[in-house]
């Protein structure tokens, strides 16, 4: 997570280095497009995942070596577009954490083509590879995949990806000054961390307005010790007694039986500590597995699944949704990336910031404030006034657009991981973003 791209390797922070690694991965595919793409494709092609239903598109997964001597590589999972993949854009999806898996969280719990259900996989009817794009999920600690030289590229992600997606986009623009390698068409950021204090401190208003804490606790949470101060102290290993007291009270009142990633949803009682998501029929028309994260962990730890994915465990004995193997500099969270977003817009890269509106981790109010302030700073006029948008005959959320380059949108009833909790509405939003058209304003 960085505010600006560093001019030399010595000044790179840990999170910018992660962005450089991802960039090198994409560069590798571009350079090797003609000479190695066929052999790489055959080597990485997935014949069939265990328990997978029949599909008409190809899948690939495997590794790209970044440092052979140090045995460093990145792992990816790639799903072709359902129709005419060779003419469709490439979309890279990154999950947050930092250190959480774009494979396990993104591909198998959110917007990929399948979701685990017991011993088998079921088809995700709202997978983003149905939105006329080729979809790449990049695991943060392994990778390699087919080529798309000069193909339109979109970079998307959520949460902590609000740091490394803008960084990666900025690095691509820097490299394009020397040689046009990437046709970057836009970035989309879901419930992103863009500015530490604004994003984190909006949590108090959100949970208070939803009735999760009392008036007196809200007062303490906004005056005695706010959330950004607590996190800053926690990462430095020196939590003050006053902040400890405030946070203990906040935790007591909010209860461990409320999912902070979606405060309106029930929890899976047997998996409270794993924060397994549960959705009620009133909120989502389609039936969604109440413990898809748990099932994903079980599925991806099967030896037959790892073999089909051409995957191997590195540095761990069991695959987990989020990894502490990665050496992240946690205090980089305090460095804002909203400034990079501004640079991208100035360079002509469209940006969409969207929020699941039931998330208390990175609430919509902070994101909306940051987007509006950035629009004012860039002197962008409002081109689409704040209004509802529709998915089918229901309100899908609200949106506002500035200068046809910067857009903010909410997804109604969605969690921190919006494609998981509101898959159909998320797909409508994503398709509009890819096609560069306004969100539906009527049904």
Which residues are the active-site residues? 159, 359, 416
Spatial separation of the C-alpha atoms in residues 148 and 143, rounded to whole Å: 16
- Rounded distance between C-alpha atoms, residue 372 and residue 374, angstroms: 5
Distances (CA, A) of 207 to 39, 329, 334, 404: 52, 28, 22, 32
Strands (E), 80-151: 90-94, 114-117, 120-123, 134-139
Structure tokens at 271: 């998996």
Query: Among residues 164, 160, 115, 112, which one has the least CA distance to residue 136?
Result: 112
Please report how many Cα atoms fall inside a 13 Å half-sphere around the Cα of residue 395, on the Cβ side. Answer: 10
Q: For residues 305 and 283, give the distance between their C-alpha atoms in angstroms, rounded to a whole number.
A: 32
State how far the Cα of 312 lies from the Cα of 75, in Å rounded to an integer. 10
CB-neighbour burial class of residue 202 (10 A; exposed 0-12, middle 13-18, buried 19+): buried
């Amino acid at each position: 997570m960085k505010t600006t791209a560093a001019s030399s390797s010595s000044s790179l922070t840990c999170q910018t280095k992660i962005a450089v690694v991802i960039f090198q991965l994409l560069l590798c595919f571009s350079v090797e497009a003609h000479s190695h793409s066929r052999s790489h494709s055959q080597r990485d092609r997935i014949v069939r995942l265990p328990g997978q239903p029949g599909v008409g598109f190809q899948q690939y997964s495997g590794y790209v070596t970044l440092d052979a001597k140090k045995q460093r590589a990145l792992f990816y999972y790639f799903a072709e577009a359902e129709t005419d993949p060779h003419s469709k854009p490439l979309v890279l999806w990154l999950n947050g954490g930092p250190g959480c898996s774009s494979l396990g969280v993104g591909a198998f719990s959110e917007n990929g083509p399948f979701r685990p259900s017991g011993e088998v996989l079921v088809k995700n009817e709202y997978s983003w590879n149905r939105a006329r794009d080729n979809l790449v999920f990049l695991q943060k600690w392994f990778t390699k995949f087919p080529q798309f030289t000069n193909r339109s590229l979109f970079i998307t992600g959520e949460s902590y990806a609000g740091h490394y997606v803008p960084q990666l986009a900025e690095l691509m623009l820097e490299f394009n000054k020397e040689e046009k390698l990437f046709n970057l068409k836009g970035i989309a950021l879901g419930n992103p961390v863009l500015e530490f204090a604004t994003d984190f401190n909006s949590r108090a208003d959100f949970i208070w307005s939803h009735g999760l804490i009392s008036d007196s606790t809200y007062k303490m949470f906004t005056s005695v010790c706010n959330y950004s101060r607590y996190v800053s102290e926690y990462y430095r290993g020196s939590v003050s007694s006053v902040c400890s007291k405030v946070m203990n009270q906040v935790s007591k009142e909010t209860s461990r039986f409320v999912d902070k990633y979606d405060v309106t949803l029930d929890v899976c009682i047997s998996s409270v500590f794993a924060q397994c998501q549960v959705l009620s029929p009133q909120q989502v028309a389609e039936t969604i597995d109440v413990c898809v994260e748990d099932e994903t962990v079980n599925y991806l730890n099967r030896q037959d699944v790892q073999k089909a994915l051409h995957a191997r465990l590195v540095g761990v004995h069991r695959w987990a949704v989020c990894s502490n193997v990665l050496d992240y500099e946690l205090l980089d969270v305090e460095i804002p990336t909203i400034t990079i977003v501004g640079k991208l817009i100035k360079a002509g890269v469209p940006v969409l910031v969207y929020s699941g509106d039931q998330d208390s981790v990175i609430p919509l109010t902070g994101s909306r404030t940051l987007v509006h302030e950035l629009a004012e700073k860039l002197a962008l006029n409002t081109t689409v006034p704040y209004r509802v948008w529709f998915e089918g005959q229901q309100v899908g959320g609200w949106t506002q657009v500035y200068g046809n380059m910067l857009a903010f949108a909410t997804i109604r009833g969605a969690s921190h991981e919006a494609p998981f909790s509101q898959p159909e509405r998320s797909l409508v939003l994503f398709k509009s973003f890819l096609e560069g058209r306004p969100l539906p304003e009527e049904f």
